[in-house]
Amino acid sequence: MEHETAGDPVTGLKWTRKTTEKVAKELQSLGIQVGPRKVAKLLKKLKFSLRVNHKKRSNGSPVERDAQFCRIAELRQQFATDGNPVVSVDAKKREHVGLFKNGGRRWEQTPTAVNDHDFPSLADGVAIPYGIHDVLANRATIYVGMSYDTAHFAVDSIERWWRQEGRRRYPNATHLAILADCGGSNGNRVRAWKYAVQHKLCNRHGLNVTVAHYPPGASKWNPIEHRVFAEISKNWAGVPLQSYETILKFIGTTKTETGLRVKAHLVRQRYPKGVKISDKQMREVRLVTHNHLPKWNYTIRPATQNTSI
């Protein structure tokens, strides 16, 4: 075990990646008759302990992190004062559809039997929930995709929300603010995201779209994460997501005492991965970066509008 041992220099605790069964077999090969349980007791006496990985290492936070939080707060206040919508967007964890174990517990007379392995080949499909949370109205709409979380899927979801709900709720709005993470399909460096926002939101609906990205490592502060997705996870906790109907049902029945209500729609359109946006296409994007933290804050104008701020 000499090369299989690690330890804490402060507490003196040690740990090994070898199982008690493997240690017992090695001891037996040396003529020491001992079983796994006895090995476990001996390891404890030697200050060995079962250890798990701890997410405690920080890669550091951007120096502008707090400044961006302040900028987002100002943006939300400004849009609320002007009566323009603010939406928080993100994609929830990809789910396999079928009789798979789902985390959490619920009151039942008998437990539900699920697959003993989470092999993707056993799934009836995948579900990619992309959410739009109307922060001012405290309403959320989740579009459940069936292929991949791509930039075009993300913007199509926002465009559907605007067409089906947003423009009715805000009939006089010409500006839309989007709060998004720095990564994923709606990341601040994703060309396809900005290109799709230009053509599917700005040009099609005449909207000025201002996007503010949360700094790297700060996605948990995005309102949709803790105000919507957390509630959906609690609502379907312990329930196998065995069909798209089940998924839509539990998303659509999610609500909170603070007034949150959620709608759910299934998106059957397939979205291919790896769509590239050329330099020529990017020149079509009428993007104006803000003076304050331009890498995270920008506005995209309709093609017929002047780009001056």
What's the farthest any 2 CA atoms get from each other in the chain?
Answer: 85
- pLDDT-derived band at 43 (thresholds 50, 70, 90) equals confident
Q: What is the pLDDT at residue 30?
A: 87
Q: How confident is the model at residue 60 (pLDDT cuts 50, 70, 90)?
A: low
Averaged confidence pLDDT in the chain = 90
User: Are the beta carbons of 217 and 61 closer than 8 angstroms?
Assistant: yes
Cα separation, 305 vs 1, in Å, equals 70
Assign 51 a pLDDT band (cuts: 50, 70, 90): low
What percent of the chain clears pLDDT 70, i.e. is strictly above it?
Answer: 88
Task: Name which residue leads in pLDDT, 46 or 7.
Answer: 46
Residue 16 bridge partners (DSSP): 5
What are 221-255's pLDDT values in tens digits? 899 999 999 999 999 999 999 999 999 999 999 99
- Please give the pLDDT value at position 42: 87
pLDDT band at 29, cuts 50/70/90? confident
pLDDT of residue 13 exceeding 60:
no
pLDDT value at 306 more than 80: no
- Residue 309 confidence class, pLDDT cut points 50, 70, 90: very low
The larger pLDDT score, comparing residue 309 to residue 70, is at 70
pLDDT at 4: 54
Q: Kindly list the structural domains of the chain, giving each domain's residue range(s) and its CATH number in brackets, ordered by start.
A: 2-45 (no CATH), 65-300 (3.30.420.10)
46 pLDDT tier (thresholds 50, 70, 90): confident
Looking at residue 99, what is its pLDDT? 95
Using the predicted structure, report yes or no on whether residue 20 has a pLDDT greater than 50.
yes
Does residue 308 carry a pLDDT above 60? no
- pTM confidence score: 0.80
Cβ atoms of 91 and 126 within 8 Å: the answer is no
Give the model confidence (pLDDT) of 90-130 as tens digits: 999 999 999 999 988 888 878 889 999 999 999 999 999 99
- pLDDT exceeds 80 at position 5: no
What is the arithmetic mean of pLDDT over 55-60?
58
User: For 160-212, what is each residue's pLDDT tens digit?
Assistant: 999 999 999 999 999 999 999 999 999 999 999 999 999 999 999 999 999 99
Secondary structure of 198-251 in the HEC alphabet?
HHHHHHHHCCEEEEEECCCCCHHHCHHHHHHHHHHHHHCCCCCCCCHHHHHHHH
What does the buried/exposed string (b/e) look like for 179-209 if buried means 16 or more CB atoms within 10 Å of the residue's CB? bbbbebbbbbebbbbbbbbbbbbbbebebbb
Question: Cα(130)–Cα(127) distance, rounded to whole angstroms?
Answer: 10
pLDDT at site 256: 93
The tens digit of pLDDT for each residue in 137-162 reads: 999 999 999 999 999 999 999 999 99
